[in-house]
Chain A
Amino acid sequence: MATEGKGDTATTATTTTSPTIPLHRQELLKWQGWGYRDSRFFINSNGLIEFSGSRYLLSGHVLPRLKDWMFSKLNASIDNYSPSVQEPNPDYIQEPILNNSFITDFQSTLGSTVQYSADMNDRLFHGHGHTLEEIWKLRNGGKFERLPDWVVWPRSHSDVEKIVRLAVKHNICLIPFGGGTSVTWALLCPTNEKRMIVSVDTSQMNKILYLDEKNLTARIQSGIIGQDLERELAKKGYCTGHEPDSMEFSSLGGWVATRASGMKKNVYGNIEDLVVHVTMVTAKGTIEKSCLGPRQSIGPDINHVIMGSEGTLGIVTEVTMKIRPLPASKKYGSIVFPDFESGVACLREVARLRSAPASIRLLDNEQFLFGQALSTDNKGMLHSLVDNMKKLYITKIKGFDINRMCAATLLFEGTTNEVNQREKFVYDIAQKYNGMPAGEENGLKGYTLTFMIAYLRDIGLDYRIVAESFETSVPWDRVIDLCRNVKKRIITECEKQGVKHPPFSSCRVTQTYDAGACVYFYFVMNYNDIRQGGDPVHIYELVEEAARDEVLANGGSLSHHHGVGKIRTKWIKQAVSDLGVGTMKSIKEYLDPDNIFGSKNLIPESDEVNEHLKAKL
Chain B
Amino acid sequence: MSVFNSLEYDDLISRHRQSSDILWALKYWHHPLFDIKEQSIKSTKLINKNTQISSIITPVHYKTLPRNSEQIKSDVLNSLALKYTIETLDNEANGYEQAKAIIHEMSHRLNIRSARFLAFVFSKIFNQVYENIYINRRGMDNIYQLYSLTPINTSPTIPSSPITISSTLFAILNTFSRSSSSINSDTNLSSPLTTKHYLTSPRIIYLPTHRSYMDFIILTYVCFEYNIPMPCIAAAQDFLGLGLLANLLRNCGAFFIRRSFRSDQLYWTIFDEYVKTHLVHGDYPLEFFIEGARSRTLKTLLPVRQGMLKSCLECYFRRQIDNLILIPITINYEKVLEDNLHANELLGIPKPKESKSGLLKATQILKKSFGTMNIHFSDPIYVHDAYESFKKQEENKSNNHSDTFNRSVPRSLQPRFICQQDAFTVSEQKFSDEISYRVVNEQQRRTVIYPITIAAYSLLKSPIVTTSKDRSILIEQLVIDKNILFTENTNILEHFSSQYQISWPVENDKIILKDRLLAIYSDVFEMTRNNFLTLKMSGDRLADASILMKLIMYRNTCLHIFAKPAYILLACQVNSQFPISYEQLKTYYHFFVHLFAYEFVYDQFPMDNTNDIYFDRYLSYWITMNYLIPSDNSTYQINSNFLQQISLITSPFEQYARAYLLIYEQENLSSEKNLSILIKIYQKALLTKLDPNNIISILASSSNVISNALRTLNFTTKSKILSELRHMLTKIFQPKSTHLRAKL
Asked whether any CB of chain A lies closer than 8 Å to the CB of B193, the reply is yes
Check if B196 is an interface residue, CB within 8 A of chain A: yes
B695 to A: closest C-beta gap in Å: 52
Taking beta carbons and an 8 Å cutoff, which residues of A are in contact with B? 338-339, 341-342, 344-345, 348-349, 396-399, 403-404, 432-434, 476-482, 484-485, 487-489, 491-492, 495, 502-503, 550, 552-556, 577-579
Q: A396-B40, A399-B46 are in contact. Are A345 and B322 (CB under 8 A)?
A: no
**Shortest Cβ distance from A553 into B: residue:** B319
Closest B residue, CB atoms, query A546: B388
> CA separation between A487 and B46, bound complex, in Å?
27
A480 in contact with B42 given A434-B49, A487-B199, A579-B404 (CB within 8 Å)? no
A residues near B411, Cβ cutoff 8 Å: 553, 555
Residues from chain A with a CB closer than 8 A to the CB of B404 are 577-579
Q: Which residues of B contact A348 (CB under 8 A)?
A: 55-57
Task: List chain A residues, Cβ under 8 A from B61.
Answer: 341
Assess A477 versus B57: contact at CB under 8 Å? Given A399-B43, A403-B196, A555-B412.
Answer: yes
Q: Is B53 close to A, CB under 8 A?
A: yes
Looking at the complex, which one of B49, B62, B196, B323 makes contact with A339 (CB distance below 8 Å)? B62
Q: Is the CB of B46 within 8 A of A488?
A: no
Q: Judge whether B200 is part of the interface by a CB distance below 8 angstroms.
A: yes
Known A481-B320, A491-B191; further 4 A-B contacts with Cβ < 8 A = A479-B57, A480-B57, A488-B200, A555-B319
Once the chains bind, are A345 and B55 in contact (CB under 8 Å)? Answer: yes
> In the assembly, what is the distance between CA of A502 and CA of B194, in Å?
11
Contact sample, A vs B, 25 pairs, CB 8 Å cutoff? A338-B46, A341-B58, A341-B62, A344-B58, A345-B57, A399-B39, A399-B43, A399-B46, A434-B46, A476-B56, A477-B57, A480-B58, A481-B319, A482-B319, A484-B199, A484-B322, A485-B322, A488-B200, A491-B193, A502-B192, A503-B192, A553-B411, A553-B412, A555-B319, A578-B401
Using Cβ atoms and an 8 Å threshold, which residues of chain B touch A482?
A: 319
**Is the C-beta of B50 less than 8 angstroms from some C-beta in chain A?**
yes
Query: A531 to chain B: closest CB distance in Å?
Result: 15
B42 near A345 (CB under 8 angstroms)? no
In the complex, the chain B residue whose C-beta lies closest to that of A494 is: B192
* Cβ–Cβ < 8 Å partners of A488 in chain B: 193, 199-200, 322-323
Closest B residue to A339 by CB, please name it.
B62
Contacts of B417 in A (CB 8 A): 477
Closest beta carbon of chain A to B337's beta carbon, Å:
41
User: Is B416 interfacial (CB 8 A cutoff)?
Assistant: yes
The distance from the CB of B154 to the nearest CB of chain A, in whole angstroms, is: 20
A291 CA / B271 CA spacing, docked (Å): 59
Most buried by B among A396, A432, A434, A553: A553
B:52-69 near A, CB below 8 Å: 53, 55-58, 61-62
Least CB distance, B406 to chain A, in whole angstroms = 13
Q: From DSSP, what is the main secondary structure of chain B's interface residues?
A: loop
Find B53's partner among A345, A476, A550 (CB 8 Å cutoff).
A345
Assess A477 versus B322: contact at CB under 8 Å? Given A487-B199, A491-B193, A555-B411: no
**Which A residues are CB-close (under 8 A) to B320?**
481
Residues of the A chain whose Cβ atoms lie less than 8 Å from the Cβ of B402: 578
In the assembled complex, how far is the CB of residue A576 from the closest CB belonging to chain B, in whole angstroms?
12
Write out the residue numbers on chain B whose beta carbons fall within 8 Å of the beta carbon of A397. Answer: 40, 42
CB-nearest residue of chain A relative to B317? A553
Q: How many Å from the CB of B388 to the closest CB on chain A?
A: 8
Question: Which residues of chain B have C-beta atoms less than 8 A from A476's C-beta?
Answer: 56-57
Within 8 A of A (CB), among B647-698: none
Question: B residues 192-248 with Cβ under 8 Å of A?
Answer: 192-193, 195-196, 198-200
* Minimal beta-carbon separation of B84 from chain A (angstroms): 13
Residue on B with the closest CB to A505?
A: B192
A414 to B402, CA, bound (A): 51
What is the CB-to-nearest-CB distance from A76 to chain B, in angstroms, rounded to a whole number? 15
Q: Tell me whether B57 and A344 are in contact (CB under 8 A).
A: yes
User: When chains A and B are docked, how far (Å) is the Cα of A481 from the Cα of B58?
Assistant: 10
Contacts of B42 in A (CB 8 A): 397-399
Given A485-B319, A553-B411, A555-B319, A341 contacting B57 (CB threshold 8 A): yes
How long is the Cα–Cα vector from A396 to B39 in the complex, in angstroms? 10
Q: For the complex formed, measure the closest distance between the CB of A11 and the CB atoms of chain B, giving whole angstroms.
A: 48
- What B residues does A495 contact at CB under 8 A? 191-192
Which residue of A has the minimal Cβ distance to B41? A399
**A residues less than 8 Å from B193 (CB atoms):** 488, 491
Query: Which chain B residue shows the least CB distance to A557?
Result: B412
- How far is B54's CA from A349's CA once the two chains are assembled, in angstroms? 12
How would residues 388 to 422 of chain B score, 1 for a CB under 8 Å from any chain A CB and 0 otherwise? 00000000000001101000000110001100000
A173 to B503, CA, bound (A): 75
In the assembly, what is the distance between CA of A577 and CA of B403, in Å?
12
Contacts of A487 on B, CB cut-off 8 Å? Answer: 199
Report whether B53 and A478 are in contact in the complex, using a CB–CB cutoff of 8 Å. Answer: no
Q: Give Cα distance in the complex from A577 to B404, angstroms.
A: 9
Nearest Cβ on chain A to B204's Cβ, whole angstroms:
16
Q: Which residues of A contact B58 (CB under 8 A)?
A: 341-342, 344-345, 480
> B416: which of A477, A479, A550 is its contact (CB, 8 Å)?
A477
Contact, CB under 8 Å: A432 / B192:
no
Chain A residues with CB under 8 A of B319: 478, 481-482, 485, 550, 553-555
Of all chain A residues, the one with the shortest Cβ separation from B198 is A404
Complex Cα distance, B58 from A480, in Å, reads 8
A550 to B401, CA, bound (A): 24
8 Å CB interface, B167-211 against A: 191-193, 195-196, 198-200
Q: Which residue of A lies closest to B402 (CB)?
A: A578
A-B pairs, top 8 by smallest CB distance, nearest first, are A399-B43, A502-B192, A555-B412, A485-B322, A341-B58, A554-B319, A345-B57, A399-B42
Does A342 lie within 8 Å of B50, measured CB to CB?
A: yes
Looking at B39, B191, B417, the one whose CB has the most chain A CB atoms below 10 A away is B191
Please report the C-alpha to C-alpha distance between residue A552 and residue B319 in the assembled complex, in whole angstroms: 10
In the assembled complex, which residues on chain A have CB atoms less than 8 Å from the CB atom of B56? 348, 476-477
Q: When the two chains form their complex, are residues A399 and B401 in contact, meaning their CB atoms are under 8 A apart?
A: no
List A contacts of B199 (CB < 8 A). Answer: 484, 487-488
CB-CB contacts of B72-98 with A at 8 A, as 1s and 0s?
000000000000000000000000000
State the Cβ distance, B317 to closest chain A Cβ, in Å. Answer: 8
Name B192's closest neighbour in chain A (CB-CB).
A502
A478 lies within 8 A of B46 (CB): no
| Complexed CA–CA distance, A554 and B318 (Å) | 7
Q: How far is the CB of A521 from chain B (nearest CB, A)?
A: 14
Q: Which residues of B contact A403 (CB under 8 A)?
A: 195-196
**Complex-state Cα separation, A228 to B40, whole angstroms:** 53
Give Cα distance in the complex from A398 to B62, angstroms. Answer: 16
**C-alpha gap A344/B50 in the complex (Å):** 13
Which B residues touch A554, using CB under 8 A?
319, 412
Q: Which residues of A contact B195 (CB under 8 A)?
A: 403
Cβ-closest chain A residue relative to B39? A399
Give the shortest distance, in Å, between A151 (CB) and chain B (any CB).
41
C-alpha spacing A210/B193, complex, angstroms: 57
- Contact status A434-B200, CB under 8 Å: no
Instruction: Return B180 CB to nearest CB of chain A, in Å.
Output: 14
Closest B-chain residue to A552, C-beta based?
B412
Complexed CA–CA distance, A552 and B46 (Å): 34
Most chain A beta carbons < 10 A, residue from B43, B198, B412:
B412
Closest A residue by C-beta to B194: A502
The answer, among B191, B401, B416, for a CB contact under 8 Å with A478, is B416
Taken together as a complex, chains A and B put the C-alpha atoms of A267 and B707 apart, in Å, by 68
Cα A313 to Cα B321 in complex, Å, equals 41
Q: Cα distance A403–B197 when bound, in Å? A: 11
- In the complex, how many angstroms separate the beta carbon of B387 from the nearest chain A beta carbon? 9
A485 to B324 alpha-carbon distance, docked (Å): 12
> In the bound complex, what is the Cα–Cα distance between A466 and B696 (angstroms)?
70
Residues in chain B near residue A502, CB distance under 8 A: 191-192
CB distance from B408 to the nearest CB of A (A): 13
Cα distance A215–B57 when bound, in Å? 41
Q: What's the nearest-Cβ distance from chain B to residue A394, in Å?
A: 11
Asked, given contacts A399-B42, A555-B319, A555-B412, whether A433 binds B53 with beta carbons under 8 Å apart, the answer is yes
Alpha-carbon separation in the docked complex, A338 to B50 (Å): 11
Contact with A along B318-357 (1 / 0, CB 8 A): 0111110000000000000000000000000000000000
